[in-house]
Amino acid sequence: MTRPTMPNEYPADSFQDAPQSLASPALLEDLTSAGIDFDVSAEVRADHGRDWWPPSIPDVAKGQVPRWPGVVVRPSSSDDVSRILTIASKYHVAVTAQGGRSSVVGGAVAPEGGIALDMTGLNRVLDVDSVSGTVSVEAGVFGPDLERAVAATGWTVGHFPQSFELATVGGWIACRGAGQYSNRYGKIEDIVRGLSVVLASGEKIELGGRAPRQAVGPDLMQLFVGSEGALGAITRATLVLHPAPKSEQRAAYSFASFDDGLDACRRIMQRDARPAVLRLYDESESQRNFNVESCALIVLDEGDSYLVEATMRIVAEECTGATELDVNLVARWLEHRNDVGALAPLWARGYVVDTIEVAGAWATLPAMRRAVIDGLQQMPGILVASVHQSHAYLDGACLYFTFAARPEDDLTGFYRRAWDCVTEEVLGHGGALSHHHGVGRNRARFVPEALGSGFSVLQDLKKLLDPDNIMNPGVLGLGGAPW
């Protein structure tokens, strides 16, 4: 598979005055002795010093490298990863495991002088168990490659995040991601059954993988789901599969208000109907995406025909008071759902644009939404403040906010203030700091408040598993100063 490109590329003459490799000669010599492939070229190090975090886009467009990792290391096996981390521990050098680097919160940004651990060489689908319905896969496999492998035997993983073309299995797990069809197939924590992890010391551990569930103490595997590379490097996973869907139905509706649509989503979910896609857009996003004046709801379900029929009948009953829209709106969403091509040009032209996904209980979502939108709209320079609901549960849902502005100066300062505004309202209303993008470095400063007294437990785990703070320091508010 061709490696995906980042949202914009450095100009050709960006690296004429690039610094020499920041990795020590002794470390590079040890990598060579261990038979590890690595690269210290300016172009490769610059590229691995960033991910899709929006504030990096203006720097890249200007040819400014925000940070220079000392070396890009390319393992091709779990044993390679073990040897690399052993060497990194010896020299106390920071290591950031990277897959497709599709993080939008700075979670895959390699630190200055550190090791960028490019995991995409671990790219094998190892085994498909067609009886049990599981797949064993290395962490560097990209989503499309995994789906093609399991589809050949009649299965699907069902995990389709917006970054599907760009992200790897290890990245899905490390960031505790959610796919766009997650109401039907579950989030990644529901899909993963086993993990192979390499700790900072180089020790390899195997977690889970014995059965669908076990009651043998706490689930240690889930400790690393969402750990963002701060506790260890994921090298392999076992994922549960679903039969490839044989039936699909679609529908679209409009509601007079976002709250009305949100309540319909709640009723649908609490009747135990789980349409794969149940996405509600406010007036601004409905107009922008579908040319609809009111609040649009798009619905898609797939799977066994009996389950799909029952699910869509429940959806229709709970949307009785809404207006039916052209079902082709679902096709429009499917066609454009992964298109983020406009992001980089806007940032390069001086706009500040980003999305913030959070979660909350049904009882608090209406007030949370109003408070966040009102807070953003009161910020000088704001051009857009909008929201949609993207993932739903029995007890709550994810709200996905979008903001855009064109401040006269200080893009970074405005960006931080916008995130501060949204986060203050979300946490104040009892919501979750992140639903599926993770924390990275962008949200690290909020984690102590978001976790409360539990943050000290996370700190203790970090000290136990990574006493020298070499694993992706700075993410989750651990092992380094927050951004």
The pTM is what? Answer: 0.95
Query: Which band of pLDDT confidence, cut at 50, 70 and 90, is reported for residue 4?
Result: low
212: domain CATH number is 3.30.465.10
List residues bridging with 321 in a β-sheet. Answer: none
Q: Are residues 235 and 253 in the same domain?
A: no
pLDDT over threshold 70, residue 375: yes
Q: Are residues 215 and 138 in the same domain?
A: yes
* Domain end (from 68, 93, 121): 121
3-state secondary structure of 320: coil
Q: Is residue 406 part of a domain?
A: yes
Q: Are residues 373 and 403 in the same domain?
A: yes
Q: Are 298 and 276 in contact (CB under 8 A)?
A: no
Q: How far apart are CA 66 and CA 47, in angstroms?
A: 10
Query: Which band of pLDDT confidence, cut at 50, 70 and 90, is reported for residue 14?
Result: confident
Query: Which band of pLDDT confidence, cut at 50, 70 and 90, is reported for residue 457?
Result: very high
Cα 304 to its chain centre, rounded Å, is 29
Q: Averaged over 156-175, what is the pLDDT?
A: 97
pLDDT over threshold 80, residue 17: no
Query: Which band of pLDDT confidence, cut at 50, 70 and 90, is reported for residue 400?
Result: very high
Q: What pLDDT, in 10s, does the model give residues 87-119?
A: 999 999 999 999 999 999 999 999 899 999 999
Q: How far apart are CA 343 and CA 360, in angstroms?
A: 27
Q: Are residues 264 and 194 in the same domain?
A: no
Q: Averaged over 387-396, what is the pLDDT?
A: 98
Q: Are residues 376 and 400 in the same domain?
A: yes
Query: Which band of pLDDT confidence, cut at 50, 70 and 90, is reported for residue 5?
Result: low
Least confident of 11-15, 136-140, 247-251: 11-15
Q: Is residue 465 part of a domain?
A: no
Q: Are residues 377 and 274 in the same domain?
A: no
Q: Is residue 12 part of a domain?
A: no
* Domain end (from 182, 212, 243): 243
Q: Is residue 304 part of a domain?
A: yes
Q: Are residues 174 and 196 in the same domain?
A: yes
Q: Where are the alpha helices (DSSP H) in 229-382?
A: 258-270, 283-290, 305-318, 328-336, 343-348, 365-377
78: domain CATH number is 3.30.43.10
pLDDT over threshold 80, residue 342: no
Query: Which band of pLDDT confidence, cut at 50, 70 and 90, is reported for residue 345?
Result: confident
pLDDT over threshold 90, residue 338: no
Q: Is residue 77 part of a domain?
A: yes
pLDDT over threshold 90, residue 66: no
Q: Are residues 374 and 400 in the same domain?
A: yes
pLDDT over threshold 70, residue 279: yes
Q: Is residue 104 part of a domain?
A: yes
- Residues of the chain with pLDDT > 70: what percent? 98
- Residues of the chain with pLDDT > 90: what percent? 88
| Mean pLDDT of all residues belonging to the chain | 95
What pairing do the DSSP bridges indicate for beta strands 115-118 and 95-98? parallel
Q: Residue 156: which domain range?
A: 125-243
Q: Is residue 468 part of a domain?
A: no
pLDDT over threshold 80, residue 450: yes
Query: Which band of pLDDT confidence, cut at 50, 70 and 90, is reported for residue 362?
Result: very high
Q: Are residues 29 and 102 in the same domain?
A: yes
Query: Which band of pLDDT confidence, cut at 50, 70 and 90, is reported for residue 13?
Result: confident
Q: Are residues 378 and 421 in the same domain?
A: yes
* Domain end (from 183, 214, 243): 243
Q: Are residues 289 and 196 in the same domain?
A: no
Q: How far apart are CA 175 and CA 170, in angstroms?
A: 9
Least confident of 12-16, 35-39, 379-383: 12-16
Q: Is residue 137 part of a domain?
A: yes
Provide the token pair at 140: 């560097």
Q: Are residues 273 and 379 in the same domain?
A: no
DSSP H or E run through 79? helix 78-91
**Angle, helices 328-336/283-290, rounded to nearest 10 degrees:** 90
pLDDT over threshold 80, residue 3: no
* Residue, of 66 and 1, whose pLDDT is higher: 66
pLDDT of residue 61: 86
> What total of structural domains would you count in the chain?
4
